[in-house]
Amino acid sequence: MGAAFKETKLPADAPKGRKALAWVDDRFPLSKLWNDQWGRYYAPKNFNVWYLFGSLAMLVLVLQIVTGIFLTMYYKPDSNLAFGSVEYIMKEVSWGWLVRYMHSTGASAFFIVVYLHMTRGLLYGSYRKPRELIWLFGFAIFLCLMAEAFFGYLLPWGQMSYWGAQVIVNLFGAIPFIGNDLSLWIRGDYVVSDATLNRFFAFHVIAIPLVLLGLVAAHLIALHEVGSNNPDGIEVKDNIGPDGHPVDAIPSHPYYSTKDFFGVSVFLLIYSSVVFFAPEMGGYFLEYNNFLPADSLKTPPHIAPTWYFTPFYSVLRATTSDFMWVVMAGLAAYVVFIWLRSRLSYKTKIAVTVLAVVIEIGMLPQVLDAKFWGVVLFGSAVVILSLLPWLDHSPVRSIRYRPDWHKAVYAVFFVAFVTLGYLGTQLPTPAYTLIAQIATLLYFGFFLLMPWWSTMGRFKPLPKRLTFTPH
């Protein structure tokens, strides 16, 4: 037998709104969900501007879903009609140009916000124990965003959309044995065609958004289960007050609701300025070639993905046959370094050495070509982000209490990442390729050497309580 239903009793003169809420709460935990996830969720009191980007990411997600729904009302997922339907939205549908520009600008805004959100996690060690699962959920969200952007990029059926998809899908052909069949399966045809457009549309509009929403919910639930990190990187739950809440934490509402509202206002001002005055952003948000209908017989002079993919695309493009010898030398040196400086067990070191030897053999030009290893490094540049919780061995979380030279290491990493992003938008000249190869080594070196450099130097003592200046 189930428990007897008990209805909340309110005074007869109680406001109607309160009565309606009580009626809903008796049948659905609306107030409980609000209080658990935000209203009475206690967060550290020393949050700064870096902590706005999580809320902004939620806002942009909603904007993208809403504008995407309106676009699908007029868009035609047909290779003969797709480009014309986008033109129809822009020129004939009332306010269609605004919805389309909001969606295209929102795509870039989403990645800007997410990259800044990930930067905050990197600076303050928000991926460290006990928040590893939060980071992994966030990484999965990042992968979904990349997939969502890639599938959506083909839909306008412009020149850059068509040829960008053709190049990226062809990369899978570099995988031994199954590459060609895998590329054929993804395209649904021997070239990017109507079949490709239809399946990309289905993934962009239905499949990926459903997965994305589930991951966002899991990310937030995991966050609120273990609690938020803070700029000091110390646990506020270690100092509980007589009311049962951390003494250095405050309710998210109204204290952070007001700050988020201000952050949203600033973001919408910038976002609206771009939408109304520079929606193409000099060709970085909307390329010139994408205003030309797709032509399978005319290849654009310079094919490049959208800017948010270019750091990883640069890694792919930097992997030449000559560069593979540098990679092989670096891998060999890394194995020697593990034997000399690592605390791994003897069996683990043997296993790492055997794996490295197998990879070194595979890197020989007679075995697997540079194109394959370019795809491997392209994927590794993304996947290595998920390993941060296990690569960082620093005794403190936050960069505030690390040695000052650690900040220089982070600065070099950020410069290398931005450099790769810029070079991915440019033609691959010999000079640019050399710079991209150096930046690639710095990018991977930051992560692969992190177990050692993150423990080196004199660390500052952690405070017992949060450092916070009222304002």
| Sequence ranges of the binding site for heme b | 103, 117, 204, 219
Task: Confirm if 289 and 281 have CB atoms less than 8 A apart.
Answer: no
- Three-class SS state of 341: helix
> What are residue 251's DSSP bridge partners?
42
For residue 323, what are the contacts with CB-CB under 8 A and spacing of at least 6?
370, 437
User: Residue 93 corresponds to which amino acid?
Assistant: V
Read off the tokens for 378. Answer: 């392209």
- Kindly state the DSSP code that residue 283 receives in the 8-state scheme: G
- Which 3 state secondary structure label does DSSP give 158? strand
DSSP lists the bridge partners of residue 249 as 44
CA distances from 363 to 319, 379, 401 (A): 11, 16, 41
Dihedral sign, CA of 58, 60, 65, 66? positive
User: Locate tokens 């002079």: which residue?
Assistant: 301
CB contact at 8 A, 190 and 184: yes
What secondary structure letter does DSSP report for 295? Answer: -
In the annotated binding site for a ubiquinone, the residues are 224
Three-class SS of 442-458: HHHHHHHCHHHHCCCCC
Query: What residue numbers does the annotated binding site cover?
Result: 103, 117, 204, 219, 224
Residue with tokens 């490709």: 196
3 state SS of 58? helix
Could you tell me how many residues make up the chain?
471
The residues facing 293 across adjacent strands are 158
